[in-house]
Structure 1
Amino acid sequence: MIGLACRTECMLPETWLFQRADKSESLFRNLFEHHAAVKLLIDAETGAILEANAAAEHFYGWSCQQLKEMHIQDINTLTPEETRSEMEKARNNQRVHFEFRHRTANGDIRDVDVFSSHIEVQGRSILHSIVHDATAKKKAERDLQASQEYLSSVFRAAPVGIGVVIDRVFSTVNDHLCAMTGYSRDELLGQSSRILYPSDQEFEFVGTEKYLQIQRDNIGTVETRWQRKDGNCIDVLLSSSPLESKNLAGGVTFSALDISERKQAERDREKLQGQLLQAQKMDSVGRLTGGVAHDFNNILSVILGYTGMAIEQTQPDAPIYTYLERIQEAGQRSAEIIRQLLAFSRQQTIAPKALNLNTTVDGMVKMLQRLIGENIHLAWIPASSLPSIYIDPSQIDQMLINLCVNARDAIDGVGTVTIETRAVTVDAEYCMQNAGFIPGDYVMLSVSDNGCGMPPEVMEKIFEPFYTTKGLGEGTGLGLATVYGIVKQNQGFINVYSEPDKGTTFRIYIPQYTDGETADRQQKDVLPEKSRGETILLVEDDPVLLDMSKTMLERLGYRVLVGQGPLAALQVVEQNPGTIDLLVTDVIMPEMNGRDLSSRILERYPSLKVLYMSGYTANVIAHHGVLDAGIHFLNKPFSTHELSIKIREALA
């Protein structure tokens, strides 16, 4: 045994343990200092570290000299009181093995196993401690425990049925499986698993498929359907593995997960994806039709304008008069098709106002009855109380006429068309099932018929322009496309419910309007008025349209200044010494739009009135196709009569 000298009262000499310089002392000193294990000699009374070997220096990060100036309390994470208590146990030989957490010089905390033996040296009580780094072991234990707790938690919380079958007969089932199937444990144990399958075919398919997978991969997973005790079916993900590798005869353990919600979500997602693709297709077609409508409108403006003026200058008994009327009728029908295209593409400029849908529909009932014919009964069921909506009244006319004509054509012989209104609230759940819907308060307009109905493949295309199931010459295929465009332009939604031989119902939802008072539409015939001596500046970049419009205005008696485009118009303003009462300008022009042009001219003529005209979307003067109050707008193509009325409105 190593001879130990007494330590002085203040501190022991650095080599207090190695006073004797003999071979034995050198041997034991080397064993202490160079042993691979971390070793400490600790004063059992005070906790002072008396000696530390090189392994301790490496492990803790302090030098041996630094360690010998420390107490074990400086290293142990226990409180000083707890540390003294543990040292007392070691000193009294109550314990030899301790599990501690020790600090290192860089601030790390390490788990350690400490083996302490108590020795007496010249009357001093000393603890010889061997320290093993247990950090990795403790971490592995904690990870294992956490993993076990996690798996146990998942097992308890997950809605998974678990069981064992032998020859496909239940031998063990858990509570989750009973809850899934509605059967008690006693009702399942000893029963064939066939009890859970809705058909023999499904039962045989699952058995065959799992057998093949288990033979190949030692595990089989299939999606199937189970029939609960109450008769309802659920979608199940079934995973099975043999108790003995690839030996089904010894029994199979399985887990069953109810995936009904997931399968329903997949079906809903496929439905929503189809609705989204349809909406994108409709939007693309809308942009295309809007461009076509713009170009065609300019041509129609010239045709109808000159035809109208030619009719005014032709005697009714002249042979050419009838031809001119036919040209005008064809042009007007073409103009109506253009208006439908613009309505579908949501590029129709509108002037909405607050109105009561009941009042508006009520004023149309007699006309709609004549439209659908006497053999079809028109049932009008208005809501007792209805909030206002904000929409152009003419658009209500368009929607009702198109829907009622569609309903009439779906009825063979005698039938009923029902128009109904109702205030509704659309919730988030409904929006989840119907792509494009937004939660909120709406006024619903419903048009139903008991006609032939439609199969799904027809319903997918009914809002596409030019799509029709009618014969050649019986329809343009723009009626329902027009309805769709109007609804979308007014931030509304439309749903269709139909089955072959069971009729069709269209439900239109328009947002409720609460910012203004209800206003009912008032229609009145306005007679054309001629000039009262005013001067009009006419601006149009199309020379043919410019010439035609100038002729119309001059025939109405106005003094007309013309500018073929904005820059030419500004030159006319500079050279004109007199007053200009009204600016009549196209909206979309290459050099400058109509609104910017009017702003420039208003600098010289502050009291100038403005009438905008366009055959396309008036987004320059309208917000999303909706005219602000006080803005006067004339849709192309227009007649002399329509032009005269709009001019007087603008000059009023």
Structure 2
Amino acid sequence: MRQYIIEHWLLNNSGRPADKSLSETQIEQSWARLGFATLALLFLSLHGANFEYYRTPFLITSGLYFLANIISLFTIRKNPLSALRTISMPVLDVTVVSFGMLVDGGGNSGIYFAYLLIIFGNGFRFGNSMLLYTQVMSMIGLTIMAAVAALSAAPIIYDPSLLYWQLITLLLLPAYVYMIGKRTEKAIKAQTEAEEASFNLLDQGPVPVFTFELDQNGKPMIVYTNRAIHELFQMDHAMLAGECVDRLILPEDSREMFDFCARTLDLQLKDENNTIYIRGINRAGTPLKLTCTAIPVRWRTHRIGVCFILDITQRETLQEQLEAVHKEGYMSTLVAGVVHDFRNVLNNMIGYAELLRMESDKEDVCEQLDAIIAAGDRGSELITRLLKLGKNNKNNIPLQIVRTSGESMIKPLENITGLARLQLPARIQMHCRIDHELPDVAITVIELEQMLLNLINNAMQSIQSAGLIQVTISSDHNHHLAIAGMGALSIRVSDDGPGIAPENIDLIFKPFWTSRSNHGGSGLGLAMVQRIVKRHHGTINVASVPYEETTFTIVLPPFREHTHAATIAAPTQAPASIEVPPPMRILLIDDAAEILRVHQAMLMRLGHTVETAENGLQALETFSKDMAAFDLIITDFHMPVMDGLALTEEIRAVNSHIPILMVTAYGEDQRLQQSSHHHIALLGKPVTMDKFNQGIIEAIRIVEQGGSSQ
């Protein structure tokens, strides 16, 4: 009997608040009894109609009641599972209430409602079993009170009809609450079973899982961990429960983990999740590379986060993926540089061969020179194919203008920065902020990833001890590349390493130049970044304050509809009949002295007058002095100080009629798409005299028709 009362009356606590123990509930009830009893005794001593008649027995009963509750306060914590106290205290409650009704005048006393307080109080605290028990005791107590009132000589009101309705009330009202309680118990039992099943499933599962919630200070604290967590981190539940989540990760990544947990609990409860790449640490101090995915769930009365962890420390595919991205970018930059140099070499070879052929009247010599020229053309075709191979364009498909939406690039950028974080040494922190409103851009996600990885890798290599890398990707509405209603895409990567010496600022983008050749630097990373930026008409700037901050800032224009790009005349065999332009006064610009001499000699052989310049700025000064002194401008594309495209823009600002022919070894560079806006003809290296004639005729035609070369 004792065990039954404890299990089914005391421990059947479906109505008790989840954050209160059995001892706390019983102590709270004892204090409530003392409080109500004190108020009732005071009221009855002042207003009880029969207080004088029942003074002595009532005060003795009240004293015993107070004593019983005081004893309970001192014994509950030592023995919360007392069957005797569980049975006796409701009997004392009913006895005191029944006696109070007699003192207050009988059946019409308002103290009657204390029966309902007793019934509902025990039912809410301890469940339906205690509700039924106190209901029966109250009905017995009310009946005994009515019998005493009927037989007493004291002036007590006794109304059988009132007693009837009072008993009906004590029977039906608690019965209704009992039915509700039963349903509640059933629902709570089902919920408890489901929770236990869920935790059993998590606990037996192979995936490391922990739950967390925010404490009063907003710090995420671990609530539960499964067995897989214990195996991964070599820590048991007793070591982790109640600890901050940064117990599982490197101190350098604490801020990122706190933000991750806070973001998770801010998510809506609609199949949303949150993912981060983070560096963990086990009990032995071994670093771990982790992917954490968390979801918010409703747990009883509040929200908690459930975090699933994937250990990717041993995954070689991660390293292979990053190396493949770097390799692709390095190969593209390397091949493009080699192709450019070879085209210049072939250009000189073919140019000198043509000049010698014009000087020679010997048939066998001319045949040999023709063979040299033909070999040069074949070499040009071969390196054009090599360039396409370096760009991984195996099907010879022309480069397409893509449109990457700002929304679609956010997740890949978050992932690639997360992957980059895992490659950092433990001494380096990385903070990343990516705005959720980014502009659409005409660049692929892969190219964005290549630039980010190279800039982060460059920052990592520059930090010699502990340090911080900060990555910010946002929309810049104030940059000159922004357009109305849409900002430019801004990518900033900064570090607090030793910085870049002022004398090296102009060298860092040069292919193969590196200040860290002894530490694995290839000198291709920044060159590749600059090449991608220029290809997409963007800007890249670097600012460095030694041992304070070095910042690389890339700005890319938002997507806009482009006109058709100008195309490069392929180095194919010249037609049998070539139209010859009239003699012209030509301003020739090229930064390579050898090519400048060859092209000058070829043009002079064609009957033209030629004045030379070594870069765009020098040519602009010469042209500005006397614009009428020239009939045609022939310029190289890629030059220091001012390149051919910038020179063209300056010239077209003051003269829209002079023909311009741009000669370049970078025929596949997408920046040349801008040439269509300036009405110029393009000619790819290597150049022959027949091609010069074709190019000059085409440049004249474009200006006369006001169109671009096709």
Tell me which interval the TM-score lies in, with the shorter structure as reference length.
0.3 to 0.5
Higher relative helix content: 2
Higher relative strand content: 1
